[in-house]
Amino acid sequence: PVNAVGPINLTAGAATPLTITTQPSATVANTAVFPVQPAIQLRDAGGNAVSQQNVQIIAAIASGGGTLTGGTANTNANGVATFAGLSITGLLGTRTLTFTSGALTAVTSTGININAAGPATTMAISAGNNQSAAVGTTVPVDPAVRVTDVSGNPVSGRSVTFAVASGGGIVAPTTAIATNASGIATVTSWTLGAAAGTNTLTATSATPAPALNQVTFTATGTQVITGSMWVANFDAPSIGIYPVNASGNATPTATIEGSNTGFNQPDGVARDPSGNLYVSDFTLSSISVFAPGATGNATPTRVIVGGNTGLTAPVGMAFDAAGNLYVSNETGGSGSGSVTVYGPSANGNAAPIRTLTSIIDFPSGIAIGAGDTLYVVNQGNSVMAFAPGASGAANPVRTIRGPNTLFDEPEGIAFDAAGNIWVVNLLANSLLRFDRAADGDVAPTVVVSGSNTGLAGAIGLTRAGNELFVANYNNGIGNVLVFSTGASGNAAPTRTLTGGLVGPFWVAF
């Protein structure tokens, strides 16, 4: 006979794997608590639920990156751990979570897509800062800000208000602008005030609370140059005086020429803060000074000339804040040029107050930058910057030189309103722009070159307002080309002056 046995009660074995009974939310916003929190069940090897209390389950991000908050939970009496407060902080995209507990077999969730930014935390400038434009005109790039959450995700629909803070300009619109899907809010226009100088524009965002950090845009209003320009005619010899907006075959309003002027081959021209006109003569190694308004067969009020002056084929001229005159001397052999400096009232056979001789290779254009930093263009393919007061064999603080610079006998130099450095190439027929802090073998940030430019034998370079004036000299035939400081590539000049020019070398205002 078969012996009968009583009922057998099977109970769950020891917990082995973890299983997910409730998957976390499929879509969430960055930093937001999941609307649906995951639940994890302990199970034995046969898949039976294991009722074991106070087993800690740890959640972690398995893929997608970011920071997980609320990542631990303990099982209840039924062996179920239900999380509360789980959230992910990170960039938009899909993540998965893994759940572990000691030696138990881990389990991974389905995808969780962070599809929306969290609350806005930061506002930063996106475009349109540190610009320049003529007074009373709009800046070329409309100011814009970008609003992001704590992870850098763009926040759309945030209200941003722009307002003029200084300079007296106008911004449009004056009402709040909502950020777009990229978190960007952009003004329609910013018109600078009527006075030359600094203009500022602020952007604020206070709704919803808390308010974001205020940001400030800066722009420089440049005075539109009116009146006259002076052009040195190397082969005439004379100085032609034209309206600043002269174009085409224009007749000069006046000239400075005749036996009293003492000109032989005038090449450089510059005007001091009082309006006196300085003319460098290449052949005579002299600097002649003419009173404001001088025309015709005028006699200079002063002439710096003689063996003590150190002048040898002078070319470029510039003035520092104290009114001292800086002159580049081209002759002296390769590496033997110089820059001589004279006091504001220097006259006759006056010795320079100091002389710079630092391996200057056929210097041409010179300019005084911010803080009286001296910039010297060497036809030997470099631009050197010297500290204020440099003399003797002082080392430059920066030197722009090397094949990436695209220099090919550079001549003239000028700064735009933003402080960028412009250099004109004689042999390459090009106009180059470098960052204000450029140093070493750096490429220009802008190159103006090509058949449309009309550049051919370019020597002199001068800026007035937002325009660059280039003097082209080519065997006695030449012109003055005018480019916007925003020109780039194979850009045509905005106008060309041809009338009455005989070998133009330099332009002054």
DSSP characters over 439-486 = -BS---SEEEESTTT--SSEEEEEEETTEEEEEEEETTEEEEEEEETT
Cα–Cα–Cα angle for 145, 151, 154, nearest 5°? 35
Q: What is the pLDDT of residue 35?
A: 96
Q: What is the pLDDT of residue 18?
A: 96
**Hey, which residues does 64 pair with through a beta bridge?**
none
Residue 464: phi, psi to the nearest 5? -140, 120
Tokens matching residue 447:
């190159």
Q: C-alpha dihedral over 467, 473, 476, 478, to 10 degrees? A: -40
pLDDT of 356 strictly over 80? yes
Q: In whole angstroms, how far apart are CA 96 and each of 71, 110, 283?
A: 13, 6, 80
Average pLDDT over residues 36-60: 96
pLDDT of 324 strictly over 60? yes
**Separation CA 41–CA 18 (nearest Å):** 6
Confidence of residue 8 (pLDDT cuts 50, 70, 90): low
pLDDT of 5 strictly over 70? no
Confidence of residue 6 (pLDDT cuts 50, 70, 90): low
3-state secondary structure 42-104: EECCCCCECCCCCCEEEEEEEECCCEEECCEEECCCCCEEECCCCEEECCCEEEEEEEECCCC
Nearest in space to 230 (alpha carbons), one of 464, 419, 486? 464
Q: What is the pLDDT of residue 406?
A: 98
Average pLDDT over residues 96-111: 97
Each residue of 212-270: pLDDT tens digit? 999 999 998 876 656 799 999 999 999 999 999 999 999 999 999 999 999 999 999 99
Average pLDDT over residues 15-38: 96
Residue type, 404: N
Residues found in the chain: 509
Q: What is the pLDDT of residue 209?
A: 84
**Hey, which residues does 446 pair with through a beta bridge?**
433
Tokens matching residue 319:
């003035």
- By percentage, how much of the chain surpasses pLDDT 70? 96
Nearest in space to 423 (alpha carbons), one of 403, 437, 405, 450? 405
Each residue of 381-426: pLDDT tens digit? 999 999 999 999 999 999 999 999 999 999 999 999 888 999 999 9
Range with the poorest average pLDDT among 281-295, 442-456, 474-488? 474-488
Each residue of 130-179: pLDDT tens digit? 998 878 888 989 999 999 999 999 999 999 999 999 999 999 999 999 99
Q: What is the pLDDT of residue 361?
A: 83
Each residue of 263-322: pLDDT tens digit? 999 999 999 888 899 999 999 999 999 999 899 999 999 999 999 999 999 999 999 988
User: Within a 10 A sphere around the Cβ of 247, how many other Cβ atoms?
Assistant: 16
DSSP letter for 405, please: G
Cβ within 8 Å of residue 63, ≥6 positions away? 94, 95, 96
Q: What is the pLDDT of residue 358?
A: 85
pLDDT of 10 strictly over 60? no
For 61-92, b/e burial (b = at least 16 CB within 10 A) is beebebeeeebebebeeebbbbbeebbbbbeb
From the number of C-beta atoms within 10 Å of its C-beta (0-12, 13-18, 19+), residue 256 rates as buried
Q: Are 94 and 4 in contact (CB under 8 A)?
A: no
Cα–Cα–Cα angle for 455, 457, 459, nearest 5°? 100
For residue 210, whether the previous peptide bond is cis, meaning omega lies within 30 degrees of 0, is: yes
Cβ within 8 Å of residue 9, ≥6 positions away? none
Each residue of 13-23: pLDDT tens digit? 688 999 999 99
Q: What is the pLDDT of residue 397?
A: 97
Q: Are 385 and 397 in contact (CB under 8 A)?
A: yes
**Separation CA 291–CA 276 (nearest Å):** 5
Q: What is the pLDDT of residue 351?
A: 98
SS3 288: strand
pLDDT of 11 strictly over 60? no
